[in-house]
Each structure stands twice: as C-alpha cells, then as structure tokens.
Amino acid sequence: MESPELSFTLAYVALSVCFVFTPNEFRSAGLTVQNLFQSWLGSEDVGFIQYHVRRTSVTLLVHSALPLGYYLGMSLAAPEKELLSVLQVDGVWRAFLLLSLCLHLSSWMLVLYWSLSSWSNHPISRALRAHVRPALPGWGAVATSINTEFRRIDKFATGPPAARVIVTDGWVLKVSTYHIHLALQSECHVTVTQSRQHQFSPDLASPTEILTLRVESINPSVGGFSISVNSSEYADLRDKLRAPIRNSANVVIHQTMSELFLETFRAQIDLNPPYRVPGGQEMESCIGCMQTPANTKLLRLCTAADSEDSECEQCFCRPMWCLSCLGRWFASRQDQQRPETWLSSRVPCPTCRAKFCVLDICPVR
C-alpha cells in the first residue's frame, strides 16, 4: 500500500476509534454524537427516555456509516484507484463497498423497525415494558415515571457518558452507548463483586479505586447488569440506594484518599531494605495507636550519608511507630489537593522532626 493510502487508513481508523469510544479530549472538543445531533435529540432533562431512544438510534446509524465513510474518503485520498466509478473498481474494493452498504442499510432498516408504532420496538421500550404493573400501566407510564425522577436534582449520577450510572428515588439506570439498563429499586439487590485499585502514578492525578457492583432484579424479565463507581462516591450511592448492598467477595472498600494512599505506602515500604533490631530485642508498642508493635525505623537511605544534595536528614530515634500510623502521619502532612506529589515529598519525623522520604522508611524485622 502506498503512503497516502496508508496514512489515510491509519488516520481514519484512529479517528473512528476515538469517535466510537470518545476519550475525554474528543468529548471536550464536542466530537460526540450527542453534540453533533443536539438539535434533533432535544433535551435529556425534558424527556430522558425519549432522548436516549433517539440518541441510541442515531449512534447506531452514525457508527454503521463509518466503513462507508472510509470508502468515500479513500476515493479522495487515492484518486488513481477511481473508486467512485463503482462498476470498474477491482474485486476487493467492490466487496468492501458492498459490505459497508449492507451494514449501513441494515442499520437503517433496524432503526425503521424500532420506530414503528411510536418506537415501541426499540430495545429501551422493551426494557420499559418489562416493568409494566398495575401502578404503571403501559410502558409510556414507566417512561414518564423515569423522566420525572430524572429531573429531580437529588439523583445520584456518575461515570462517563458511555457507562453512566444514575440512581433516582425509584430506579437504578445504566446508560450505555446503545442501550439503557434499568431496574426498579424495590425489586433489585446489589452486590459488590470487584474492586480495582489504580495506584499513585505519575500519569494519574490521584489514586482511585473502582468498584464493580452487580444489579440483579427479582423480576425474571429484567436482566442483571454491572455498574462501576469510584469508591469515593460509594457513600452517596449507598445513601441513594434503598436496597441493601451485599459484599460477596469481601471486597475491601477504601473510601478516603488517605486509606487509598496507605495501600500504596505499605507496598512501597515493603521494597525498602529491612532494619534488623540489634540483639533481637522486643519492640515496644507503637506510640501512635498503642495497638501494634512499632515496626518502622527511619534511616537516611535515599542518598549517601555524606552527600549534601538531599534535604533528608538522619533520624536517631528508636523504632516507635507502626507502619499505618506513620503512613497516616505522612499523608496528613501533604497537600491534600495534589495527591500526585505525595509519594515524592518529604515530611519531618513525628518525634525528632528530621526530614525523611519514603525511601528512608525501613520495615523492622
């Protein structure tokens, strides 16, 4: 493949992937289906369900047109191929064109089928129909109930547009690219199934823990689905959910920045060389918590003892603190707005005020 074609192909693939999965940069530039078709989609606050029925349909049509766009773009990028004179074009390109056309046309047919009798065939309408009951006769009534509750300002909402989680007084909703999953709060149980921790790292501004929760409904016609929330939002979610949250896998949930930091801190200290107590003497209990034996010793290890270019100082205190207390002390002396600087900063020893960094903390063995 010659270079203009190759560069066009690479650029198109990259743009398409970004358009479909919309990273933050694309979203802030307004290159999303929601933004481009804003005037037709209307307002999410006025009619939440109607908005998403339209949004998912448009998204399907736009995404299915991407291969066709590639073909048209290539006909401009490589005019010598004469891709626009469809009858003369060679076999591979003709097959590609046919497949792209089929894909796009079938999406149109699917969307037309969905739209019959005021969108009653759309997957969202079908999901609504599963919740029809005497109190909510007809899927229109279910849609109205969700629309009304979505307008209230005290709803819980979080997550990126492709996996948004919304909890209203009566409903748990997950908005994804092509669908909305819904469950009635009074009918569902929620289980924490997993927690993923993203440690302190240079490219991540703050440590995060993402919890995965499984929402299952006792209504057999409503399928279960998983939602993801940040552990710092877990308390708000729990307040809004009236269903009890079970913790099946005994997942430990760290709700504050300091708790999250402690995990990273502990892992970092484990890498440092251990300090052997002379004569194998018993350790006194930590003077911070009086619960566990002191198990940390500060030694200036980050730079050679005679070098002058480090701000760290030698601490001559005996081991007095346990790792958790020292970690909490370390976190409490940091700029709470800039957690990315925490691991690389220096704090004074809690007893003698000699400055130390994480490399200077030795586990006592």
Q: How far is the CB of 303 from Zn ion (least distance, A)?
A: 7
Give the end-to-end CA distance of the chain in Å, rounded to a whole number.
Answer: 63
Structure-block tokens of residue 179: 């669908």
Residue 86 binding Zn ion, by CB under 5 A: no
Residue 273 burial (C-beta neighbours within 10 Å; 0-12, 13-18, 19+): exposed
Amino acid at 352: C
The answer to whether 211 and 253 have CB atoms below 8 angstroms apart is yes
State how far the Cα of 201 lies from the Cα of 217, in Å rounded to an integer.
Answer: 38
Q: How far is the CB of 322 from Zn ion (least distance, A)?
A: 3
Residue count, binding to Zn ion (CB under 5 A):
14
Q: How far is the CB of 331 from Zn ion (least distance, A)?
A: 14
Which range, of 161-169, 242-250, 259-267, 281-289, touches Zn ion by CB under 5 A? 281-289
**Helix/strand/coil for 181:** strand
Closer residue to Zn ion in complex, CB, 80/309: 309
Q: Write the CA distances from 144 to 27, 28, 150, 345, integer angstroms.
A: 29, 31, 10, 54
Contacts for 185 with CB less than 8 Å, ≥ 6 apart: 167, 169, 170, 171, 172, 241, 242, 243
Residue 312 binding Zn ion, by CB under 5 A: yes
Residue of 84, 109, 205, 352 interacting with Zn ion (CB under 5 A) = 352
Amino acid at 61: L
Q: How far is the CB of 231 from Zn ion (least distance, A)?
A: 24
Q: How far is the CB of 2 from Zn ion (least distance, A)?
A: 56
| C-alpha torsion angle, residues 301, 303, 306, 308 (rounded to 10) | -140
Residue of 142, 315, 347, 362 interacting with Zn ion (CB under 5 A) = 315
Which range, of 51-59, 92-100, 249-257, 294-302, touches Zn ion by CB under 5 A? 294-302
Closer residue to Zn ion in complex, CB, 157/317: 317
> Count of alpha carbons within 13 Å of 338, Cβ hemisphere only?
9
Residue 128 binding Zn ion, by CB under 5 A: no
Buried (b) or exposed (e) across 106-126, using 16+ Cβ within 10 A? ebeebbeebeeeebeebebbe
State how far the Cα of 283 lies from the Cα of 310, in Å rounded to an integer.
Answer: 30
Residue 349 binding Zn ion, by CB under 5 A: yes
Closer residue to Zn ion in complex, CB, 243/298: 298
> What does residue 305 show for φ and ψ, rounded to 5 degrees?
-60, -30
Structure-block tokens of residue 275: 């300090």
Which range, of 4-12, 26-34, 40-48, 296-304, touches Zn ion by CB under 5 A? 296-304
DSSP 42: -
Residue of 314, 317, 329, 364 interacting with Zn ion (CB under 5 A) = 317
Residue 322 binding Zn ion, by CB under 5 A: yes
Q: How far is the CB of 293 from Zn ion (least distance, A)?
A: 9
Closer residue to Zn ion in complex, CB, 154/308: 308
Residue of 159, 288, 348, 363 interacting with Zn ion (CB under 5 A) = 288
Residue 364 binding Zn ion, by CB under 5 A: no
Which range, of 68-76, 132-140, 231-239, 356-364, touches Zn ion by CB under 5 A? 356-364
Binding-residue pattern over the window 241 to 280 for Zn ion, x denoting contact by CB under 5 A: ----------------------------------------
**Helix/strand/coil for 184:** strand
DSSP 154: T
Closer residue to Zn ion in complex, CB, 18/317: 317
Q: Backbone dihedral region of 97: left (phi > 0), alpha (psi from -120 to 50 degrees) or beta?
A: alpha
Which residues bind to Zn ion, rule: CB under 5 A?
286, 288-289, 302, 312, 315, 317, 322, 325, 349, 351-352, 357, 360
